[in-house]
Amino acid sequence: MSPQYSITLARPEHLSAMPAIELSAAVLLRGHAPDAVLNEATDDETFADAQENGRLWVALADGQPVGFALVVMLAGDLPHLDEVDVEPAHGQRGLGTALVRAACDWASRAVYAELTLTTFRAVRWNMPFYARLGFVVIPEPELRPELMDVVLEEESRGMPREGRVVMSYKCPRPRP
């Protein structure tokens, strides 16, 4: 029997599951990211802040967390989709798409101009996945300083700039 899936804002009781989901999903990037990056998890404070501020969505399978989307604020007007992970056992069921759409919908309702992210340029399921959801590449010369800081921080952790890409989802403007 297939599990019943749902996407919802994360609640405090979901937070303890986030690191294990992140580490489980990281195996899909072996060979594309350094092991040091694949073996690290987002800190508890980041998850707690995002949950408290309505910027963390969770994919549930029969009520149990199996995926999440995490938005961090790089500036007061710059939400950034920092992480989207789904446990591989629950992959290929549209959960990643639903999580990204939840974040995009939130950014649009909150009247942000855009939602940004960084991803792997050459990993066949990364950049094309986000492009299908409406994200477009931001050329490096057009990056805001906050986004350039993300690129440089990723590079310092062993992910070369030429292998990464910054993308933006332009939020629809509300109708008057």
The model's pLDDT over 61-116, given as tens digits with 9 standing for 90+, comes to 999 999 999 999 999 999 999 999 999 999 889 999 999 999 999 999 999 999 99
* Amino acid at site 60: L
Which two three-digit tokens encode residue 176?
């008057």
Which two three-digit tokens encode residue 121?
């340029």
Full-model pTM: 0.94
> Helix H segments across the chain?
18-26, 35-38, 44-52, 95-109, 127-132, 145-156
Write the pLDDT tens digit of every residue in 158-172. Answer: 899 999 999 999 998
> What percentage of the chain exceeds 90 in pLDDT?
80
- The DSSP secondary-structure symbol of 134 reads T
Higher pLDDT, 30 or 81: 81
pLDDT confidence of residue 176: 59
State how far the Cα of 152 lies from the Cα of 149, in Å rounded to an integer. Answer: 5
Q: What is the mean pLDDT of residues 129-136?
A: 96
Question: What is the spatial order of strands in the sheet that 64-75 belongs to?
Answer: 5-9, 56-61, 64-75, 78-86, 114-120, 164-170, 135-137
Query: Across the chain, what does the average pLDDT equal?
Result: 93
The residue written with tokens 């992970």 in the block is 85
Res. 33 pLDDT band, cuts 50 70 90: confident
Question: Which sequence spans correspond to the domains of the chain?
Answer: 5-170
Paired strand residues for 22: none
Task: With a cut of 90, say whether residue 42 has pLDDT above it.
Answer: yes
Res. 23 pLDDT band, cuts 50 70 90: very high
Q: Does domain 5-170 fall into CATH 3.40.1280.10?
A: no
* Amino acid at site 40: E
pLDDT confidence of residue 47: 97
Query: 3-state DSSP call for residue 58?
Result: strand
State how far the Cα of 52 lies from the Cα of 172, in Å rounded to an integer. Answer: 25
Paired strand residues for 115: 169
pLDDT confidence of residue 104: 97
